[in-house]
Amino acid sequence: MKLTYRHNPLQSQHSPLPGNAAPGLARTPAPLSPLELAQRLQTSLDLERVLEMFSESIQWAFPHDGMTYDHPALGLHSSWGRISRHSCCYNLVVEREEIGELRFLRGRKFRDEELTELENLMGVLVYPLRNSLLFRQAVDAAQTDPLTGLGNRAAMERLLPRELASLRRGQHELALLVVDVDHFKRINDTLGHSAGDRVLRATAKCLREATRESDMLFRYGGEEFVMLMRTDNPEDGLQAGERIRTVLRECPELQAAASGMQLTASIGVAQAHPLDTPATLFDRADQAMYTAKQAGRDRVVRSEE
């Protein structure tokens, strides 16, 4: 294990940290031996839970007001507690593998003996932390389409119930769009499957360019893509569908992927209702997409409510 330490005094004091609040940071649990701490950390493979348990468990030896964890290469950031004046940061490396940065915060300066104790305790954390990172990466890989880099059907089926639950709590509106590349079988039959793969990769790239960072994109299967988007009004989904249709039709990379063919897409849009299940919402958008196909392709059709 390798630790790189730095100390930073902060200007703001006792303001809320963005992210997850953890009231447990204010408590001082009973002391744990290194073995007991290791056993506790091994009870979960959830990254945030492992870090939260570690923060709570070391309060007796290393009192702190807040903690943050960052792994820029994986796009991970989590925070607990509150910002305080003083901080200490550690870059964690195990067997030459960087596993992120931990930052601890509190109102009074950290004493040398406390930092020594913390470094000993982090020796117990690093392997459970690495295991949770490996587990998270494995789950992400299992939910990623290898051809396009988008989420796959399994990822969509995991996220859609959560988004519908948020809709029912009144947190946001939700639309689901099904995007299907027109005449895709003709591309495979005429130009071969390598050309079909190029079309799918180019479609995914153009979809990313046509959507917001908050929109959720998936390759559902074959030439069919799905987008989940949080909306402010029922027209947002239809407008997004028209924007995507236009971008795909005019995307140079997509048009170059199948020489001699004008590539277009048919798009179905369904606005979610509180009584929708994942299946009913998807089926309405999927049926609207087939209606667009039957009406001549290269168009957007909204599901009848």
Separation of alpha carbons 98 and 208, rounded Å: 29
Give backbone dihedrals phi and psi of 6, rounded to 5 degrees, phi first: -150, 150
HSE-CB of 275 using CA atoms within 13 angstroms: 1
Q: What was the pLDDT predicted at 139? A: 83
Is the pLDDT assigned to residue 149 strictly greater than 70?
yes
Query: What number of residues does the chain have?
Result: 305
Indicate the pLDDT class of residue 15, thresholds 50, 70 and 90: very low
Tokens standing for residue 281: 């919402």
Is the pLDDT assigned to residue 1 strictly greater than 60?
no
Give backbone dihedrals phi and psi of 204, rounded to 5 degrees, phi first: -60, -45
Indicate the pLDDT class of residue 16, thresholds 50, 70 and 90: very low
Q: CATH number of 2-142: 2.60.40, 2.60.120, 3.40.50, 3.30.450?
A: 3.30.450
Q: Can you tell me the mean pLDDT for 184-190?
A: 94
Give backbone dihedrals phi and psi of 89, rounded to 5 degrees, phi first: -120, 140
Q: What percent of the chain has pLDDT over 90?
A: 76
Give backbone dihedrals phi and psi of 84, rounded to 5 degrees, phi first: -135, 175
- HEC states along 69-134? EEEHHHCEEEEEEEECCEEEEEEEEECCEEEEEEEEEECCCCCHHHHHHHHHHHHHHHHHHHHHHH
Is the pLDDT assigned to residue 6 strictly greater than 60?
no
| DSSP reduced 3-state for 16 | strand
Q: List, for residues 152-182, the tens digit of each pLDDT value.
A: 999 999 999 999 999 999 888 999 999 999 9
Identify residue 21 by its one-letter amino acid code: A
Q: What percent of the chain has pLDDT over 70?
A: 90
Contact partners, residue 43, CB within 8 Å, separation at least 6: 53
Residue 252: CB atoms within 10 A of its CB come to: 9
Separation of alpha carbons 156 and 164, rounded Å: 12
CATH 3.30.70.270 domain position(s) in the chain: 153-302
Q: What was the pLDDT predicted at 116? A: 92
Q: What is the DSSP letter of 26?
A: G
Residue 165: CB atoms within 10 A of its CB come to: 10
Q: List, for residues 39-95, the tens digit of each pLDDT value.
A: 999 999 999 999 999 999 999 999 999 999 999 988 889 999 988 889 999 999 988
Q: What was the pLDDT predicted at 253? A: 95
Buried b (16+ CB within 10 A) or exposed e, 19-45: eeebeebeeeeeebeeeebeebbeebb
| DSSP reduced 3-state for 231 | strand
Tokens standing for residue 103: 């930052």
Tokens standing for residue 236: 């947002």
Name the CATH topology of 153-302: Alpha-Beta Plaits (3.30.70)
Q: List, for residues 198-249, the tens digit of each pLDDT value.
A: 999 999 999 999 999 899 999 999 999 999 999 999 899 999 999 999 999 9
What integer best gives the mean pLDDT of the chain? 89
Is the pLDDT assigned to residue 32 strictly greater than 90?
no
CATH 3.30.450 domain position(s) in the chain: 2-142
Tokens standing for residue 176: 């689901």
Identify residue 223 by its one-letter amino acid code: E
Q: Which residues are catalytic?
A: 223
| DSSP reduced 3-state for 29 | coil
Residue 278: CB atoms within 10 A of its CB come to: 16
Indicate the pLDDT class of residue 286, thresholds 50, 70 and 90: very high
